[in-house]
Amino acid sequence: MAKVAIIGASGRMGRMLIAAVDQAGHDLVAAVEYAGNPLLGEDAGSLAGMAANGIQLSSDKRDAIAQADFIIEFTGTASTLETVALCRELATPIVIGTTGFNEDEEAQISAAAEHLPIMKAGNYSVGVTVTLKILEQTAKALGKPFDVEVIEAHHKHKVDAPSGTALNMGQAVARGLGIDLNDHAVFAREGITGERPDGVIGFSTIRGGDIVGEHTVMFAGIGERVEISHRATNRMNFASGAVRAGVWVSAQQNGLYDMQDVLGLKDIS
């Protein structure tokens, strides 16, 4: 049984994570929110719709990290980078579900991974992880004659676009094609754009309502089209996957890992 601390515990994902830790039979030792959050002092179990568990929502991130076998955080980039620095100081593994990091921030996380185990994924769904592997293999088999579009939809409150999962899907396709996504991604189209260039990977973003997460990658060829989709109907699959990832990464050497490592998919060509 692992001792788990959750940063961002009162949010939508945070509450799911509290429940997922309980369902997996692990021990929630701390639930953290930012200083000034109106829910500070509330019982974490009650926030997650369960019986009270005696863990009060706190703003003491350092104390939480010191108690835990691993940390899970789904918040914003600034908070997560602060947590990574504390985890490095206290030698506590971390599961990062936050998305929207820029290149410099990604470099900070990679540097920290030289000193502690870090699990980082744009999506902790087992289904999405398998889909990423399928996308890489599909792109490799179909090749460059097929035009690729990544279409994603999320709820109205999501603050970054494209989603981390959409970017991961684009990266999986790029690996299959043997190209660098940074050199071939198209994130916006407006006005007279001209004909589509060969070799680009397009992204389209939808935001609205309470959509949990929907992703489709379209391989459009001449006379045929292949579409590979994943649709999430609730967040518990993400939360359960993150807890599973935390248990796995807490037993690893220093390094930066993702869900394909957890599922052993990187050895499948």
Catalytic residues: 154, 158
Pairing status of strand 57-58 against strand 255-257: unpaired
Return d(Cα 231, Cα 254) in angstroms, integer: 33
Residue written as token pair 């935390």: 246
CB-based contacts of 243-246 (< 8 A; 24+ apart in sequence): 243/4, 243/17, 243/20, 243/21, 243/24, 243/26, 243/72, 244/24, 244/124, 245/95, 245/119, 245/121, 245/124, 246/2, 246/4, 246/69, 246/70, 246/71, 246/72, 246/93, 246/95, 246/119
